[in-house]
Chains A and B, each alone.
Chain A
Amino acid sequence: MKTSDLNNQDGFITVALVLLLSLLIVIGTYRVELVKMFAIRTQLHTACDAASLAGASTAAVTPADISYVTEIDAEGNTVKREIVGRWDVDLDKNLADPEGVFAAQLNYPNFDDTNWSSSVNGDEYLFRLHGIPFHSPLTAIWNSKLYLNSECTSKAVHR
């Protein structure tokens, strides 16, 4: 090889442009996928929130610790007024789960029956979506998988 061949700089701009464009494509794809992931996380959060609220709303809330006070109303009549000191909450997981799943399905159309779990803790209903695969060209390149999770808890109260 002659020294003049090594000093020949023809084609440098083409190579630089190809490298720059490749870099731009990768950075652009990365940013698109990152924002897309946030959007899907928002959707999952909505699904969990709606599911936990729907599940908690199935609770049977009954009055307990009732006491009565006697009062005289504006017209001078004696009336008995009921005061509920405490409400008993009966939250049945078997009733809450179908409601929770339905609400999650409405909000997250790609809902998979194997990617959710729930639990009841007293008057609280927790709904969790877990292991939701995030399909992205970038994770395909790296041959790795990315999973998203979300969970929400709602408390059953008397209204």
Chain B
Amino acid sequence: MPLLLAILFIPIIQIQQVFVKQTGLQAAHEAARYYAINSPTNPDINAVITQSRQVATQNIDPFLNTKPLYYNPNLDVQFSEIDYGPDNTYCRGTVVIHAPVSIPWIGKLLGRPAEAEPAANWNSFNNPMGRNAGSEYVMDIPASGFFKKEVP
């Protein structure tokens, strides 16, 4: 029976993982692009970060934006600077989505509860069991975009 359930459910979770990854990549792309273009010219860097987070949020699937547990722009959208060469600066926009596991009790159904997994694997993209986030199991799916800052 667990094998049958695994054959039925694991593809569903994998589709969900890849779909969320795509959404995250799109959001990270747009957010990093906005940040790279606007941060060098706008002296108020906090305003640029807030606007970039809004841009990321606009690209997140509405279903994932229903609970702060799944996606919280203030915590899950981060920007960092990467120095490359004497005058070039790249920036990185990272979006982490904590997608709900579409089959919430799959770990138990398959006889492999998430609690039994080593903590180091909880954040693994390839771990379909998710991690226990209190009220439900979620999968942490990160995505990044790198852009060169447009220095005037």
Interface residues on B, range: 20 to 34
B26 partner, pick from A21, A42, A53, beta carbons under 8 A: A42
Distance from B9 Cβ to chain A, minimum over Cβ atoms (Å) = 10
Question: Inside 8 A of A36's CB, which chain B residues have their CB?
Answer: 18
The answer on a CB contact under 8 Å between B18 and A39 is yes
Q: Say yes or no for B65: interface residue by CB 8 A criterion.
A: no
- Of the stretches A7-15, A67-75, A100-108, A128-136, the one at the interface is A100-108
One digit per residue, 1 when the CB lies within 8 angstroms of any chain B CB and 0 when it does not, for chain A 51-87 equals 0011001000000000000000000000000000000
- Of the stretches A24-32, A117-125, A142-150, the one at the interface is A24-32
- Residue in chain A with minimal CB distance to B82: A106
Interface residues of A in 90-119 (CB under 8 A from B): 99, 102-103, 106-107
In the assembly, what is the distance between CA of A43 and CA of B146, in Å? 11
The answer on a CB contact under 8 Å between B7 and A25 is yes
The answer on a CB contact under 8 Å between B147 and A32 is no
Distance from B146 Cβ to chain A, minimum over Cβ atoms (Å) = 4
Interface residues of B in 84-138 (CB under 8 A from A): 84, 88, 90, 92
Q: Say yes or no for B21: interface residue by CB 8 A criterion.
A: yes
Interface of A is mostly: helix
One digit per residue, 1 when the CB lies within 8 angstroms of any chain A CB and 0 when it does not, for chain B 1-44 equals 00010011011101100110110011011001100100001000
What are 6 A-to-B residue pairs whose CB atoms are below 8 Å?
A28-B11, A31-B15, A35-B15, A45-B29, A46-B28, A50-B32
Q: Which residues in B have some Cβ–Cβ distance to A below 8 Å?
A: 4, 7-8, 10-12, 14-15, 18-19, 21-22, 25-26, 28-29, 32-33, 36, 41, 82, 84, 88, 90, 92, 144-148, 150-152
**20 further interface pairs, Cβ-Cβ under 8 Å (given A50-B147, A53-B33):** A21-B4, A21-B7, A25-B7, A28-B7, A28-B12, A31-B11, A31-B15, A35-B15, A35-B19, A35-B22, A39-B18, A39-B21, A49-B29, A49-B33, A50-B33, A54-B148, A103-B90, A106-B146, A107-B144, A107-B145
